[in-house]
Homo-oligomer: A and B are copies of this chain.
Amino acid sequence: MRNPDEIAQEGDPPAEALDHETRTVESDHLALRLWLRVFSCTSMIETDLRRRLRQGFDCTLPRFDLLAQLDRHPEGLKMRDLSRRLMVTGGNITGLTDKLVDEGLVERCGDPRDRRVYTIRLTNAGRRLFQKMARSHEQWVIELFNDLEQQDKVQLFELLGTLKSRLRTRSETVR
């Protein structure tokens, strides 16, 4: 779902584009309507967060995600692990990383035990910038869910937890 393609971030899609649920008709099975509703909500929130990241920090979502992963791993991550965590192709990660290195936000560190491997980690400047963005990001998310009653949030959280664990069990069975 997460789109590593930065092109797609230029210009916000209009509201109706986000509403994939309009694709369904009354007779459709509940599961299909449910899926399109999950998808619509995710699209609406993600579009809003993309716009705010761009407007507030001139930052794309893949860039934010990459910095977030590095922030969680102060010891650094190998390119391969970074790619795996970010679900984007190696090429995109490399391009993004090169840019962040040029900007002094990220650094490459050699592994003394293996000269062929290097890890990527945040510089102090990168960490400071990310933490500033993360605080804003959290505030935006809080705002977006603000109109939902606390008990609805808790219930939604629980139900999605159930869905997630079922999906995970299913995917492990398939693999």
> Count of A residues near B, CB < 8 Å?
76
A162's partner among B8, B31, B152, B171 (CB-CB below 8 A) is: B152
A interface residue numbers (CB < 8 A to B): 1-5, 7-8, 10, 13-18, 20-21, 23, 28-35, 37-48, 65, 68-69, 72, 84-89, 138, 141-142, 144-148, 150, 152-157, 159-164, 166-172, 175
Known pairs A138-B28, A155-B155, A166-B148; A160 contacts B41 (CB<8 A): yes
- Pairwise interchain contact B148-A33, C-beta atoms closer than 8 A: no
Known pairs A68-B23, A160-B38; A8 contacts B13 (CB<8 A): no
Knowing that A2-B39, A5-B8 touch, tell me 11 more A-B residue pairs with CB under 8 angstroms: A2-B3, A15-B168, A16-B85, A29-B138, A30-B153, A35-B45, A38-B38, A38-B160, A41-B164, A44-B164, A144-B170
Top 6 nearest A-B pairs (CB, nearest first) are: A5-B5, A147-B166, A31-B145, A13-B87, A3-B3, A42-B42
Closest to A28 in B: B138
Copies per complex of this chain: 2
- Pairwise interchain contact A38-B35, C-beta atoms closer than 8 A: no
Known pairs A31-B142, A37-B164, A164-B41; A3 contacts B8 (CB<8 A): yes
Known pairs A34-B156, A42-B42, A166-B148; A1 contacts B4 (CB<8 A): no
Q: How far apart sit A161 and B21, CA to CA, in the bound complex (Å)?
A: 11
A4's partner among B8, B33, B175 (CB-CB below 8 A) is: B8
Known pairs A147-B169, A156-B159; A39 contacts B37 (CB<8 A): no
By a CB distance below 8 angstroms, the chain B residues around A43 are 1-2, 87
How many whole Å from A146's CB to the nearest CB in chain B?
Answer: 8
